């Protein structure tokens, strides 16, 4: 299967793999009222840093991994941040802290251990517990 669909997987230092014809939609649960349009100025960046950010954006654009979208208020509050490693390589990240004020809080995101152990107590076989 891997050999047959090799182009769908990234191996080693190769560029990202891609699967055409499949769209991924991400949803964010927010408290009402919905967040207003928050316009934040981008972080100050040198010309060299801006060129590097453009390179990180254009590479997946050319590979059809991402696509440009129209106006969206969520996009306006995500500030791109370039992380540069000691070896000179860089990575593009997003600063999503502005979204924290609007998201719905999950009070118990991780299952409680006593609850999980109670569920496992009745089982005959246990192969793995995360």
What is the pLDDT, as a whole number, of residue 87? 92
Tell me the C-alpha distance between 16 and 48, whole Å. 24
The per-residue pLDDT for 86 is 92
Provide the CATH number for the domain around residue 51. Answer: 3.10.10.10
> Considering the domain boundaries, does residue 70 fall inside one?
yes
Distance CA(56)–CA(19), nearest Å, equals 20
Q: Residue 105 is part of which domain span? A: 6-118
Compute the distance between CA of residue 45 and CA of residue 84 in angstroms, rounded to an integer. Answer: 13
Q: What whole-number distance in Å separates Cα of residue 82 and Cα of residue 84? A: 6
Residue 123, in any domain of the structure: no
Residue 79 belongs to a domain: yes
Domain count, the chain: 1
The answer to the question of residue 37 being in a domain is yes
Residue 54 falls inside a structural domain: yes
Q: What is the mean pLDDT of each run of 10 residues along the chain (130 residues)?
A: 73 64 70 62 83 88 76 63 89 81 74 83 71
Whether 103 maps to a domain, the answer reads yes
Structure tokens at 80: 């791109």
């Amino acid at each position: 299967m891997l050999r047959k669909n090799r182009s769908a997987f990234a191996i080693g230092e190769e560029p990202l793999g891609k699967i055409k014809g499949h769209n991924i939609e991400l949803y964010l649960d927010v408290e009402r009222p919905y967040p207003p349009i928050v316009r934040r100025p981008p972080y100050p960046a040198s010309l060299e840093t801006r060129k590097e950010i453009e390179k990180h954006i254009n590479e997946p654009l050319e590979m059809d991994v991402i696509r440009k979208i129209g106006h969206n208020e969520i996009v306006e509050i995500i500030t791109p941040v370039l992380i540069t490693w000691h070896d000179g390589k860089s990575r593009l990240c997003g600063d999503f802290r502005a979204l924290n004020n609007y998201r719905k809080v999950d009070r118990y995101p991780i299952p409680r251990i006593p609850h999980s152990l109670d569920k496992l107590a009745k089982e005959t076989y246990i192969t793995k517990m995360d």
